Structure 1
Amino acid sequence: MNTENNIPPQAEREIDLLELAGRLWVKRRFILCVTAVFMVLGLLAGIFGAKEYAASCQIVPQTSRSNSSSSMARLASLAGINMGNMTSNEQVLSPLVYPNVMASVAFQRELLQTPINVAGESGPVTLLSYLSDEKHRKFSLAGFVLKYTIGLPGLVMQAIKGEPVEREMPQSDIIVLSREERLAMRRLNNIIGMEVEEKKGYITIVARMPEAFAAAQVAESALTLLQRYITEFKIDKVKRNLDFIQGRYDELKREYEDIQMIRARYRDANQNTSTSRARTELEKLDNQYNLAYSIFSEMATQLEQAKIQVKETTPVLTVISPVAMPVKPSKPRKMMLLAAFTFLGLVAGSGYVLVRPMVAEFLGSMRDEERKRKEGNA
């Protein structure tokens, strides 16, 4: 009776695990040497790696609302009626849209024009120049290793495709990015970021740069630019209404002043005249003056209401934690790098020990088959 066929699968798995553990134990010195080498690489990456400073700010989006609408909503809620958005004509721009605004081409293109102060330059340079010029790139051991290991397929594909050819485009409102702008925007996505804490109700803007003051400048510029973009999106409709009323107000004001001047001149020219024709003409001018004044006053009231509506609709980004220049670098995280390289070295050494016999066995079997085939042909 063949006892080998009666060995349960669980026992086979235990035997395999014991065999693998035995291989690792025999080659433990080799594994420890490989791990030590990786630990040294991690230590060097932590010590000589490029520093990165993170400047951040926290904001709370707020929009002013009409007191009368709020009072009506409270009264309706007491009666058990949920009026929802019927009490206000405002359309609140969700904070979840803010990251899309920051990621838009128009926003990033304008953000790239931010002047920043960097070491080695006599004066401020634009963020576009800083990100597109290779002279501002600092060497990073960890980044170098990742670039030519994990990122190697991407480099090969980029080399095969090559750089796109720049062509002159006709004048239009379509945004056409240059090669420098495309390169800078790809790098900008790794520099500026936004985190929306929907439950807590605040937004965090973070800028990461190799220099502390430059990071603070980029974060402050992103905050200012975001305030302007959100304001433009929110008040576009009421602003156009205000512009229309303002134009109509200026037109009615000129007409009112013209009629007022004609009426005054006629009064001066007919002070001693008491004819019916003169009185009729004066009554006609008075009626025109009163009508013009009534329309002009009504338009002035609408103008003030439109201005108030613009101010009420304008969103306010309340800064609860302003931008401050960071003192300590946020990267490299030395302990994390050391732990990551140590684990990578342990996996690499163990993997080599376990895989090498399998590869050798596979190659040996292929050589045996090739030899047998040659002997059979002979």
Structure 2
Amino acid sequence: MKWTLFASVVLLASAHVLALLRFPCAQLVLDRLDPLVNPGAIPSPHLHQIVGGNSFNATMDPKKDMPKESTCTTCQFSEDFSNYWTAILYFKAKNGTYKRVPQIPNSGFDGVNGGMTVYYMQDGLYDFAQKSKVTAFQPGFRMYIGDVNARSRKDVERFRQLTYTCLDTINTRDPQTLDFPAKPCKTGIMTALRFPTCWDGKNLDSPDHMAHMSYPESGSFETGGPCPATHPVRMGQLFYEVIWDTSKFNNKDDWPADGSQPFVWSFGDSTGYANHGDYLFGWQGDALQRALDNPCYQTCTTLKSQNNAAMNKCAGKRVVNEDIDGWIKELPGGYQANYRK
């Protein structure tokens, strides 16, 4: 995947109007809640980092109007009350204890408290004009990408686009790997999650939260591949970037004695293959469709925006009271590296 050109164009955004919906969402909460995979469970099995509307809770009834339930959002576009979340990254020290890896803002988003960068795109990453017509997600829509049990390259390859980048600078975008970087990364590690883009046109969800969506029949979203007959509706591509500040853990003397990489997901995966993400649609009215029909970049006059202070202020409080930030002997939920309950 050739990202160097993409990174360069993003850096020139202040001087040129780009048709690419890219925006930051500050951290809403770190908690063991998962209303998609483990609805109603308090706590859910493993720890997540969540951004978006502050109505996020353990249940998230799809029949409720998320924008009306929320009073604020941690995302830049104040009409977006969706929730976006991923697992949390931990460092495992040589002595077997764990420490949470903090998140830092992406390039161009200084002042945003951690969180992630969210993209909605009409065309592939190499077509910055973004001219295609795509359908926005609908109220009640939700989906998931990845496999929490994946522990091999074969397991993760079926998802195509769940990757890691070892950052030399905040703007590094190549190379991308499917597993954790094996060396210290000067600025941190960026995880990228790109969701499927073809919808069956009927179901807002499915039992595995994936079957109602599909990848293109051939090629990819980036190359303009056609949607299969079973999933004929072409949606915008939803895409997350999360930057983990692993630079604080770059002393190899603290790494495992066998020289293996020291990072592990909050559910125990130390291969990196089980990277996954969740999404609950919550845009207000037709705001997302308007933005996709009139593509823009960051300073989007089609949408209402809010400043960093308002985004950061929307942060909530954790429901599950447990130590997630100290040096801990086991991951929240009782996990150990490479072990899953």
If the length of structure 2 is used for normalisation, what is the TM-score?
A: 0.19
If the length of structure 1 is used for normalisation, what is the TM-score?
A: 0.18
In terms of fraction of residues, the more strand-rich structure is 2
Structure number with bigger Rg: 1
| Structure with more relative contact order (C-alpha pairs < 8 Å, separation 6 or more) | 1
